[in-house]
Amino acid sequence: MTRPRGTLVRNAAASRINHWITAGCFVLLLLSGLSMFHPLLFWLSELFGGGQWTRAVHPWIGVVLLLSYAGMIVQFWRDNMWSRDDIAWMRAIDRVLVNEEEGVPEVGRFNAGQKFVFWSMALLVPVLFFTGIVIWEVYFSSYTTIEQQRIAVLIHCLAAAAAIIVWIVHVYAAIWIRGSVRTMTQGYVTPGWAWRHHRKWLRRLAATGSVGPRPGAGGDGRPV
């Protein structure tokens, strides 16, 4: 992707590909999962070729999502480490929510909300995977008791509902904070975007002469 002059790399191409594989899997899992969760949504199974196909394909998509999200963790865990500044930012969330970011503590590459989304999914995806294995009737039903499967399916549904809620927060935030969608499509942001939303990140990039996404890195994430 050509990056306009004077802009900064927010997400390298590999991260973006990784993100969209994860996102695609998540949406497919959400649609197929909800169709098997509530009768009002059973019609969604038609998108997958009917109930049998939905039942068969859902767990495989889950496997791809787990692997894909593992890649996300590898790429993003460092910038998502929790710090004391995040607490200060959370305290000022009321200002953030009304688009008044002046006076809100400066933010590094990710703010506390983004970190919350990241770590929530880092917890929920493995929970969904392992409970999903237990209720993957075709291959794994003989390894657990029926009572264990009952507990697993209940946890699976709870975790799925939580993940969908976190996902809505994530998607809405991307729409709300203008310029965020482009960080995952074309991958770049303007200096003004970085100044407004991630000033500490911008300062670090500037200090190391980096164009992003990490201090000391240039172009598509390669160290300069």
Residues at the site binding other proteins, with contacts judged by CB under 8 A:
6, 35-40, 42, 45, 50-52, 54-56, 97-99, 101, 135, 137-138, 141, 146-147, 149-151, 153-154, 157-158, 160-161, 164-165, 168-169, 172, 175-179, 190-197, 202-203, 206-207, 209
To the query of whether residue 170 is one of the catalytic residues in this protein, the response is yes
For residue 13, the minimal CB distance to other proteins (Å) is 22
- Core vs surface per residue 121-134: b (16+ CB within 10 A) or e: bbebbebbbebbbb
For residue 36, the minimal CB distance to other proteins (Å) is 5
Shorter beta-carbon distance to other proteins: residue 77 or 176: 176
- Pick from 5, 17, 19: which is nearest to 188 by CA? 5
Torsion angle of the four alpha carbons 166, 167, 169, 171, in this order, in degrees rounded to the nearest 10:
170
Distance of alpha carbon 37 from the chain centroid: 23
Q: How many C-alpha atoms does 148 have within 13 Å on its Cβ side?
A: 14
In the block, tokens 């959370």 appear at 90
Selected catalytic residue, list 58, 156, 170, 198:
170
For residue 28, the minimal CB distance to other proteins (Å) is 17
For residue 197, the minimal CB distance to other proteins (Å) is 8
In the block, tokens 């002059």 appear at 5
State the catalytic residues. Answer: 170
